Amino acid sequence: MILAYLSNHEKALTRVVSGFETSGDEHALNTWCMEYVNKHPIVRHAHCDAPFADLDAIQIMEAIMDQHQQVIELYRYLASRADIPSAKELMGSLRSLEEHEMMRMAQSANRFGDM
């Protein structure tokens, strides 16, 4: 049940974030992303090598929350590098969206655990 929920949630989040792509300077954002990833490589969670079907709900949520936290840190970095207010605002909006969605996922996962 939690895997189906997370799958649907991530698809919806992908659609929302894709809508932001038209607002930013693609070349600047790509450059800053590459710079960030070179300095702060994406850390794979200890459970990443195991299929989610083999993990319990807590392990799945740990992996997902860790990945979302890394995305939040990327948005925070991009906002700090932005030269124009609209780019800074865009990254702030994305970070806020990601933070709220992460909280929503955690609350939903807790409800699944209560069932």
Return per-residue pLDDT of the chain as tens, 115 residues: 777 888 888 888 888 777 767 665 566 556 677 778 888 877 766 555 667 778 888 888 888 888 889 889 988 988 888 887 877 888 888 899 999 988 988 888 777 666 6
Can you give the residue ranges of every domain in the chain?
2-114
- The full DSSP string for 4-47 is HHHHHHHHHHHHHHHHHGGGS-HHHHHHHHHHHHHHSPPPPPTT
CB-CB contact of 79 with 92 (8 Å): yes
User: How is residue 21 written in tokens?
Assistant: 């792509």
The pTM for the full model equals 0.73
